[in-house]
Amino acid sequence: MKIQTSTDYAVRILQFLHANQGEVYPAAVISQAIGVSYPFFTRIANQLKREGLLKATHGRNGGYELGRSGHEISVYDAFLVMEGNLCLTVCLQKEKPCKNAAQHNCLIHKFFGELQERVIAAMSGMAIADLARAEDRLQAETEQIA
């Protein structure tokens, strides 16, 4: 399993906006702050906006802000927008049931099913606000060492 670059940047966009909440930021400022090209940023932002994770204001003082509180947006919310449902193996897809036809007896199916549930729980349990707070602590610790 590999999380797409667009998902990584989606989380970074949300984290930036949470850290700077209460203000509307132009696309160019956000893209530069998180180190992503402007066209890639706009493509990601449009997907996040479509799903209500971002709000966009047009015009001279326009830009982006969070669509909901950073406490209400999880990393999994961003993952779902960018990648869709997490499915570690084909047999875990609802539309393509396990070829073994004995899902409750299949140890491999059970293992990957439980792993998938843990990954989803970890991403669902990490709010953008929590991630931003952890980032702030890490930066503070790094500054103390330097």
Is residue 83 classed as helix, strand or coil in its secondary structure?
Answer: helix
Output DSSP code: residue 61. Answer: T
pLDDT of residue 124: 95
pLDDT of residue 138: 66
Burial of 83 (0-12, 13-18, 19+ CB in 10 A): middle
pLDDT of residue 23: 86
Q: What are phi and psi of 66, to 5 degrees?
A: -65, 145
Domain range 5-145, CATH architecture: Orthogonal Bundle (1.10)
pLDDT of residue 94: 66
Assigned token pair, 129? 């606000």
pLDDT of residue 123: 95
Q: In the chain, which stretches have pLDDT less than 70?
A: 93-105, 136-143, 146
pLDDT of residue 76: 96
Output DSSP code: residue 146. Answer: -
Task: Kindly tell me the number of DSSP H helices and DSSP E strands found in the chain.
Answer: 6, 2
